[in-house]
Structure 1
Amino acid sequence: MKEGFKVLSLSYKKAPVEIREILSIDDTLAKVFLAEFNQIAEANDLLILSTCNRTEIYYSADRDLSLEIISFLGTKKGLNNPSQYLQYFDSILHADAAAEYLFRVSMGLEAQVVGDLQIINQIKRAYQLSADAHLAGPFLHRLMHTIFFANKRVVQETAFRDGAASVSYATAELVKTLAQGFIDAKVLVMGLGEIGEDLAKNLAETSFTVNLTNRTDEKLEEVAANCGLPTISFEGIKEHLSDFDIVISSIPVKDFIDIQDLKTIPDNGLKYFIDLSIPRSISPAIEAITGVNLYNIDEIQDKTSQAVQKRINAIPEVEAIVKESMSEFNDWSREMEVSPTIHKLKNALEEIRQEELKKHLKNVSPEIEAFADKFSKSITNKIMKLPVLQLKAACQRGEAETLIDVLNDLFNLEKDPVKE
C-alpha cells in the first residue's frame, strides 16, 4: 500500500446537520479546492467527497494535513475560527485503513441508510473532478477502478443493492406513512437532483397526489414524463405551499422556505415538511407555526422493511468482497513498489547486451546481426524472469526491500549516470 494515503472525515456519525451544512463543499468550491490547495500544502491523489451526510477529503501526503485542510476550507467559506470545527472531524492516517474506509463508504456500508444507492454516483463524480484537475495519480486511479469493480460484484453477487434502500427510499416510506393521516394527501416534491428524482420514482405508484417542481423546466419535464406525475411551475412556488399537505425539498439553498413563506397556512392546519438538503432549505423556525411539523435529513431513519433487512443480512457478503478487493489492490500496490527496480534491472541488462553486440558484431552480415540481436534478447529475457518472479514473491511476504537492496548492489542499479 502506498504510504501517505489519508482521509479527513466529517460525517453524520459525529457532526449534526447544523455543522455539516456549514462545512459542505459544492462542486464550485471543490474545483477551487483542487486548484488551489497545493499552494498551501503539497498533496496528491486528492479526492473531495461532499454529500448530505459527509464531507471528506482523501489525499496522499508525507504528513497529516488536517489543520491545513480545515483552515483552507474555513478561509474559502468565510469562517472566523475554523479550528473550532476540528472536534467534529475524524482523521485516518494509515494508508490501509484510509483505503478500506473509502471502499466501505463507496459500497454504502458507512451510509446513514445502509446501502444508499446515491453514494457510488457521488464517488464517481468526486473522482471525475479529481481527474479533471490532474490530481489523481496511478494509485488513486487504480484504487477507484478497483472500487468500481467491487461495486459491480456487490450488485451481481449479493442482495445488498436489491430494492431501494436509500435516503430517497426512506423518505418515500415516511411520506407514505404520513399520507395515511389525510383523506386525499397532496404531496409536493421540490428539486429533482439525484435524491429528488429517485424520490419521484418511489412515489410514482402511490394512490395519493404527487406534484413535482424544479428550477429547470427541462429536467422537470423529463422526470415528470418518466414517472407519469403532474408538475407545477417553480416560479412563485412559495405562494402554493399551503395547497399541499406534505412538502419535500432537496433544493440546496439555505432557508429557501422560511416562516414568512407560510403565513397563509391556517393555524389549525396539519402540514409536514421534509428537508433533504445540505445546506438546509427549510428553516427550523417554521415549527413555531401550529400544526407544522419538520423532518430534516438526520431524522429520516432507516425504515424496517424487507429490502432494508435483506441489505443488512448481506453485509457480511459485501465485507468479504471488500476484503478480497483490498487484498488484490494491496498486491498491485506492493508490486508497484518494486516496479522501478525491475525497470532499472531491465535497462542494466539491455545496456550490457548492446555493449556486447557492438563489441562482437563488427563487419558481420545483416543476417548474422539480426540473429544475434534476437538471440541475445531471448537470453536477457530469461535472465530477467527469475528476479522478477522473486521480487513479486518477496512482495507477498513483505520482504521486497531486502531483495531490492541485493539487486541494487549486484547490478549497481543506483549508479549516477552523470558521473560515468
Structure 2
Amino acid sequence: MYKYNVSKYQTFFVVGLSYQKADAETRGKFSLGIDQRKSLLDKAESIGLDAITVTSTCNRTEIYAFADDANTLVDLLCEFSIGDQDLFKKVGYVRENETAVSHMFRVGCGLDSQILGDFEIISQIKTAFTISKNRNLINPFLERLVNSVIRSSRRIKNETEMSSGVTSVSFASVQYILDHIENVSEKNILLFGTGKIGRNTCENLVKHTSNKHITLINRTKDKAEEVAGKFNLTVKDYSELQAEIRQTDILIVATGAQQPTITNEIIFPKKPLLILDLSIPKNVSEDVVKIDDVTLLHLDYLSQMTDQTLSKRKKFIPDAELIIEEERDEFYEWLDTRKFAPTIKALKDKFKAFQAEELDYQSRKVKGFDKEQAEVFSDRLIHKITRSFASHLRAANGSTEDSVALLKKVFELEMQEKSK
C-alpha cells in the first residue's frame, strides 16, 4: 500500500453511488447541484480536509478526497443532499487508495458509464477539478491523478474506436421515438429544458426526424432562443407550458430542477402523449401515468437501449484497459518519485550554494570573468547531475532508502534540510 505523504490525511477515498446499484429515484436523493457542491466543499475545508473534488451527474455522485475516515465523506454527502446514511449503506460504495485510483481511471475513461464509451463524464471531472482548485482544495496527488485520467480518456478516444458511433441518452431517446412513433415528422414535439442534454436531444431530433414542428421552452427564454436559432425552431414562454403540453404528441423533459416540474395537474392531453424524462432527479411525477393516453419513460429505460454501436465498442475494451494501465503505471512512477523529491531538492539547493560560492570567488579572482555565462553553464551542469541522481533513485527499487541515506551523508543534506 502506498504512503502518499501529500496530505495530512494518509488515505485516499472515493465514496459514491451509481446507476449500477441505485435507481434513478435513489440517485436523485444524492444528487448535488452546483451550489450544493460548492457548499459541500466549503464545509469540507472548514473541517480541515485539504484535497477533495465532487462530481454529480445523472448516473453517479462521487466524492474523491483524502481523509482519516470514509464516514467523514459520507456524512458530507448526506448533509448536502437529501440522502441518508442508511440508504447509502444499501446502494453506495467506498473505495480507498489504489482501488480508488483505479476506479477514477475507469469512470473517467467511460468504462464504468451506463452507456459504454460515453465520454461526457470526463468534462464533469474537469469541471469538478476546476471548482476545487479555485478553492485551493487540490493537492499535487489529486492534480496529477486527474490529469492522468484526462490524458487516458483522450488517448482512448483518439487511439481506439471506443467512442465510435452515436450513442448517448439524447440519441437513445430519439431512437426510441423513431422506433415507436409512426409519421414522426408530422408530430408535435415539445422540448422542455435546453441544458446540455436538451441541446443534444434537440440536435438529434432535427438531424434524424425531419420534423418541422419542434417547440422549445426553458425557464430562461433567451437560452431556448439561442438553441432554437441554430435550427430555426419555435420558442414559447415558460408561462405557456401547460397550453403547449395540451397540443403536443411528444414531450421531452430535460431540466435541472430538483423537484418534478411536470405533474398531472398540468397535463390535459387531447390525444396520446409520450413523455420522455431525461432528468436526474426525475422531473416528471410518476402519477402522470394514471392519466389516460399518457406514456412515461425515464432516462434509465432509455439508457439500457443497446445497438450495434455498443457491441462494436465492447471489442475495444482490452485496448482501453491497456492504455489505462500504462497511464496508471506512469502515475505511480511519479508518486514513487515524490518520495525522494525533498532529497533531490535539498541536493540541488546544496549544489546551488556551491555554485554561488564559486562564481563569487572566480569573479573576484579572474579578470574579465563572464559571470553570467558561467552561471548558465553551471546551471545546466547542476540540472544534469540532479537528474542523474533522480534516475538512479527511481531505479533503485528496494535500495532507495539506502541510496537516499548515502546522499544525505555525503552532501550533509540532513543539516541542509533541517535549516529550512
SS at match of 2:415: coil
Contact in 2 for aligned 1:204/1:229 (Cα 8 Å): no
Q: How does 1:350-369 map to 2 (within 5 A)?
A: 350-352=352-354, 354=356, 364-367=365-368
The 3 A distance-change label for structure 1 pair 279 and 324 is same
2:28 corresponding residue in structure 1: 21
For residues 2 and 276 of structure 1, the distance between their equivalents in structure 2, rounded to whole angstroms, comes to: 42
**1:34, distance to aligned residue in structure 2 (A):** 1.4
For residues 379 and 188 of structure 2, the distance between their equivalents in structure 1, rounded to whole angstroms, comes to: 78
1:227 aligns with 2:231: yes
Q: Which residue type is aligned with residue 60 of structure 1? A: F
1:88 corresponding residue in structure 2: 91
1:8 aligns with 2:15: yes
For residues 87 and 409 of structure 1, the distance between their equivalents in structure 2, rounded to whole angstroms, comes to: 54
1:404 aligns with 2:404: yes
SS at match of 2:228: helix
For residues 252 and 196 of structure 2, the distance between their equivalents in structure 1, rounded to whole angstroms, comes to: 14
Q: Which residue type is aligned with residue 98 of structure 1? A: A
1:151 corresponding residue in structure 2: 153
**Equivalent residue in structure 2 for 1:276, among 259, 266, 278:** 278
For residues 228 and 263 of structure 2, the distance between their equivalents in structure 1, rounded to whole angstroms, comes to: 27
Contact in 2 for aligned 1:71/1:83 (Cα 8 Å): no
TM-score after normalising by structure 2: 0.87
Deviations 1:208-259 (A, max 9, x none): 4432222222221222222343333322202321212221111122111111
* Percent identical residues: 30
For residues 121 and 386 of structure 2, the distance between their equivalents in structure 1, rounded to whole angstroms, comes to: 45
Q: Which 10-residue stretch deviates more, 12-21 or 202-211?
A: 202-211
For residues 367 and 376 of structure 2, the distance between their equivalents in structure 1, rounded to whole angstroms, comes to: 12
Q: Which 10-residue stretch deviates more, 375-384 or 203-212?
A: 375-384
For residues 78 and 24 of structure 1, the distance between their equivalents in structure 2, rounded to whole angstroms, comes to: 8
**1:345, distance to aligned residue in structure 2 (A):** 1.4
Q: Which residue type is aligned with residue 254 of structure 2? A: S
Unaligned runs of 5+ in 2: 5-10
**1:338, distance to aligned residue in structure 2 (A):** 2.1
Contact in 1 for aligned 2:346/2:416 (Cα 8 Å): no
The size of the alignment, in residue pairs, is: 409
For residues 33 and 55 of structure 1, the distance between their equivalents in structure 2, rounded to whole angstroms, comes to: 13
1:177 corresponding residue in structure 2: 179
For residues 324 and 379 of structure 2, the distance between their equivalents in structure 1, rounded to whole angstroms, comes to: 41
Q: Which residue type is aligned with residue 298 of structure 2? A: N
Contact in 1 for aligned 2:193/2:253 (Cα 8 Å): yes
1:255 corresponding residue in structure 2: 260
SS at match of 1:317: helix
The 3 A distance-change label for structure 1 pair 183 and 172 is closer
**1:283, distance to aligned residue in structure 2 (A):** 0.5
Contact in 2 for aligned 1:70/1:86 (Cα 8 Å): no
Deviations 1:81-116 (A, max 9, x none): 54442332111112x322222122122111111122
**1:54, distance to aligned residue in structure 2 (A):** 0.4
Deviations 1:266-324 (A, max 9, x none): 5xx43221111122110011112222221122211343333333322222222222222
2:54 corresponding residue in structure 1: 48
SS at match of 2:303: coil
For residues 381 and 182 of structure 1, the distance between their equivalents in structure 2, rounded to whole angstroms, comes to: 68
For residues 91 and 35 of structure 1, the distance between their equivalents in structure 2, rounded to whole angstroms, comes to: 22
SS at match of 1:300: helix
SS at match of 2:233: coil
The 3 A distance-change label for structure 1 pair 398 and 103 is farther
1:57 aligns with 2:63: yes
Q: Which residue type is aligned with residue 235 of structure 2? A: T
The 3 A distance-change label for structure 1 pair 385 and 283 is closer
The 3 A distance-change label for structure 1 pair 70 and 362 is closer
SS at match of 1:235: helix
Could you say what the CA RMSD is over the residues aligned between the two structures, in angstroms?
Answer: 3.0
Q: How does 1:118-137 map to 2 (within 5 A)?
A: 118-137=120-139
Q: Which 10-residue stretch deviates more, 46-55 or 123-132?
A: 123-132
Q: Which residue type is aligned with residue 124 of structure 1? A: K
For residues 380 and 7 of structure 1, the distance between their equivalents in structure 2, rounded to whole angstroms, comes to: 41
Unaligned runs of 5+ in 1: none
